Chains A and B, each alone.
Chain A
């Protein structure tokens, strides 16, 4: 058991949370089908606005998981930068409000706000401020689960995330948000995401999620044996779009599992804090794509240092990068969960679903969640 003094038990039962999490793939499927029905209409709407406005910047703005999700279109756009004539950036909402909200009638920026409720204080204030500056409503888009937010009339486009009720904020909605802003990103890089090939790949993602569900309790228990439950600190390390999951899982570990956690990119960890590793080192690595670059060297070396050389720490690797997995699969201090995802920028969906199911089992073992 954790030694921490204040341990709050969640008011929800394990069974109800598990049932809710198992509903995530269906929830995502509904969202996918909703957008595939819109398909060309949506593309036309977006392209019409893009053609009207001389865009120089696309900003994604949200708080917590909405902000983390925005890393996905950011990496997508970065990877396809050759197709873009504009700059892209994501901002944490408070930071945007305090330091970046324009003070003039900016005619060259698209502001994409992301908010599940569509009613959060700073989202409303920010949008109202843009409105006061006479910024064209077509430059203000909102990704939300609220079909009638109070700022609806100030937004040129509203993208529903179609999430049913969720017991834990940011579980199902985070995954649908990822999907929706990925779609927006695809259209912004001039790729049509609405075709059979992509639809089938999306269905494969849902199947991978369900496949993991069928063995999640058994795997989670193996990981608990492997990690132990008394560790005080856990690192979430990643790169690219999967960083969004590392950030969100780190947040979930703190709020949901009451474990201190930190999230860093492999690059930052490798060039800085790896020296903290000792035999208590516990980390989850997310490697959701096969854009390897230097990582083909760095990640196995990092694993070697933290599990063999500097310390005998333990790592859970969740990924679909065959080459890196091959290099570390024989290391007894690495537990691997391998999945398949043919849309690398959407690997985070599977990674997150896997992570929440594992964190749930940890929370039960730590006595934070009770059975019925």
Chain B
């Protein structure tokens, strides 16, 4: 793989995001989102099932947290239950005899042509669901799935060619799914403040692109090179980042890694921590800050003197983290915890590109 091609892909991310945003605030894009919102009522949709494999599946985790966050409140405009399934598990285990007619199926696939996604759509069509209950998120509107569903149910994102699969498309999917989630559970789909926050996010990513070498060098100097394994620990919507980062780490930097939630880590494998322990902690909201601190203390002081890079968007958490010399704090300004995963994965992708270069995997 070529370093410059991958780097150019990463530098190209703001442009593709802007293209995706512009589409969804255009007449055509907004029409689709509004139609989807109306469809929830007209087809009495009470469940959403997201289906995809690998990074498509991880991207849907953000939507789950967004939609679930509204389900907690009895008086919210729309309360919908949602679930996300890896496509292989869906095809193997869901009973084909009868699927819920009040479920909206969201198929996510960059190419729209992968074997299992094609099987899934054929399966759903055979189940005699109202065809409008299937929507697809794809960068290929003329793909197999794009042509099988109602044209107005095809939600495109723009990521064109990419050297490392998912490097641009995962990020664009996140944006697209965020807007779809808003269409599902919000009255006002893209209010001005949301558009402004997305534009600000795109600007920040662009700015990071001019500064990535400095930040990455700092990360690398802090982590060192003497580690066997990289943990990506997270919670909430940012879990999607942890899973995607771990997968990228395994598949393309050939470094062993695991993405795991804070809860699972604290109640389980924390005993693996030692002085060589290295972790990237990704926090996109201010829920249970004390738990995050407990985790950092455990890793850096109590069980071992491991090192933690804390990527977060909280002034309070950042300042608490900075007090610990074994924690390197990187704070970004995307406050919306459902948009934060977009920025988080950008930062990590630059770091992993550097790791791949150092290991001689990219040239």
B258 and A95: CB pair below 8 A?
Answer: no
Stretch at the interface among A86-94, A204-212, A328-336: A86-94
Residues from chain A with a CB closer than 8 A to the CB of B15 are: none
In the assembled complex, A31 has its CB within 8 A of some CB on chain B: no
Residues from chain B with a CB closer than 8 A to the CB of A272 are: 54-55, 247, 250-251
In the assembled complex, B288 has its CB within 8 A of some CB on chain A: yes
- Kindly identify, within residues 250 to 278 of chain B, every residue whose CB is under 8 Å from any CB belonging to chain A: 250-252, 254, 256-258, 261-264, 266-269, 271-272, 274-276
Contact partner, A233, options B100, B256, B291, Cβ 8 Å: B256
Closest to A63 in B: B267
A6 and B304: CB pair below 8 A?
Answer: yes
Contact partner, B261, options A92, A254, A267, Cβ 8 Å: A92
CA of A68 to CA of B248, assembled, Å: 25
B272 and A258: CB pair below 8 A?
Answer: yes
B74 and A265: CB pair below 8 A?
Answer: no
Residues from chain B with a CB closer than 8 A to the CB of A105 are: 74
Closest to A105 in B: B74
Contact partner, B263, options A63, A79, A89, Cβ 8 Å: A63
B27 to chain A, nearest CB (A): 35
B92 and A276: CB pair below 8 A?
Answer: no
Stretch at the interface among A13-21, A192-200, A218-226, A289-297: A289-297
Chain B: interface residue total (CB-CB under 8 A): 62
Given known A67-B264, A89-B83, A267-B53, contact A232–B89 (CB-CB < 8 A):
no
B269 and A251: CB pair below 8 A?
Answer: yes
C-beta contact mask, A254-275 vs B, less than 8 Å → 1, else 0? 1100101110011110111111
C-beta contact mask, B75-108 vs A, less than 8 Å → 1, else 0? 1000001010011110111110111100000000
A369 to chain B, nearest CB (A): 14
In the assembled complex, B68 has its CB within 8 A of some CB on chain A: yes
Residues from chain A with a CB closer than 8 A to the CB of B68 are: 99-100
In the assembled complex, A240 has its CB within 8 A of some CB on chain B: yes
A239 and B92: CB pair below 8 A?
Answer: yes
Residues from chain A with a CB closer than 8 A to the CB of B115 are: 294
A268 and B291: CB pair below 8 A?
Answer: no
In the assembled complex, A150 has its CB within 8 A of some CB on chain B: no
Residues from chain B with a CB closer than 8 A to the CB of A265 are: 86, 88-89
A321 to chain B, nearest CB (A): 12
In the assembled complex, B228 has its CB within 8 A of some CB on chain A: yes
In the assembled complex, B69 has its CB within 8 A of some CB on chain A: yes
Closest to A102 in B: B72
B250 and A93: CB pair below 8 A?
Answer: no
Closest to A87 in B: B81
Closest to A88 in B: B83
In the assembled complex, A187 has its CB within 8 A of some CB on chain B: no
Residues from chain A with a CB closer than 8 A to the CB of B88 are: 239, 265-267, 270, 293-295, 298
In the assembled complex, A12 has its CB within 8 A of some CB on chain B: no
In the assembled complex, B73 has its CB within 8 A of some CB on chain A: yes
B261 and A94: CB pair below 8 A?
Answer: yes
Residues from chain A with a CB closer than 8 A to the CB of B50 are: none
A351 to chain B, nearest CB (A): 17
A73 to chain B, nearest CB (A): 13
- Kindly identify, within residues 270 to 305 of chain B, every residue whose CB is under 8 Å from any CB belonging to chain A: 271-272, 274-276, 287-288, 291, 304
CA of A260 to CA of B268, assembled, Å: 13
CA of A89 to CA of B116, assembled, Å: 23
B86 to chain A, nearest CB (A): 5
Contact partner, B100, options A81, A94, A260, A273, Cβ 8 Å: A81
A104 to chain B, nearest CB (A): 3
Given known A239-B88, A265-B88, contact A78–B54 (CB-CB < 8 A):
no
Given known A81-B98, A251-B268, A273-B250, contact A95–B263 (CB-CB < 8 A):
yes
Residues from chain A with a CB closer than 8 A to the CB of B54 are: 268, 271-272
CA of A87 to CA of B98, assembled, Å: 14
In the assembled complex, A80 has its CB within 8 A of some CB on chain B: yes
CA of A233 to CA of B272, assembled, Å: 12
B287 and A240: CB pair below 8 A?
Answer: no
CA of A100 to CA of B73, assembled, Å: 10
B92 and A294: CB pair below 8 A?
Answer: yes
Residues from chain B with a CB closer than 8 A to the CB of A273 are: 246-247, 250-251
Residues from chain B with a CB closer than 8 A to the CB of A294 are: 88, 91-92, 115-116, 119
CA of A106 to CA of B76, assembled, Å: 13
Closest to A258 in B: B272
Contact partner, A260, options B93, B228, B263, Cβ 8 Å: B228
In the assembled complex, A101 has its CB within 8 A of some CB on chain B: yes
B336 to chain A, nearest CB (A): 15
A210 to chain B, nearest CB (A): 29
A271 and B53: CB pair below 8 A?
Answer: yes
In the assembled complex, B14 has its CB within 8 A of some CB on chain A: no
Residues from chain B with a CB closer than 8 A to the CB of A293 are: 88, 91-92
CA of A273 to CA of B93, assembled, Å: 23
- Kindly identify, within residues 273 to 301 of chain A, every residue whose CB is under 8 Å from any CB belonging to chain B: 273-276, 291-295, 298
Contact partner, B47, options A63, A87, A239, Cβ 8 Å: A87
Known: A4-B274, A81-B98. 15 other contacts (CB 8 A): A6-B274, A57-B81, A63-B267, A78-B93, A78-B94, A93-B263, A94-B261, A94-B266, A94-B291, A255-B271, A260-B258, A262-B257, A268-B86, A275-B250, A293-B92
Pick the 8 closest A-B CB pairs, nearest first.
Answer: A94-B263, A267-B88, A104-B74, A273-B250, A293-B92, A254-B269, A82-B98, A271-B54
Interface residues of B (CB under 8 A from A): 46-47, 53-55, 57, 65, 68-69, 71-75, 81, 83, 86-89, 91-95, 97-100, 115-116, 119, 228-229, 235-236, 246-247, 250-252, 254, 256-258, 261-264, 266-269, 271-272, 274-276, 287-288, 291, 304
A-B contacts, 8 listed (Cβ < 8 Å) = A6-B274, A78-B94, A95-B263, A105-B74, A232-B256, A260-B272, A261-B258, A272-B250
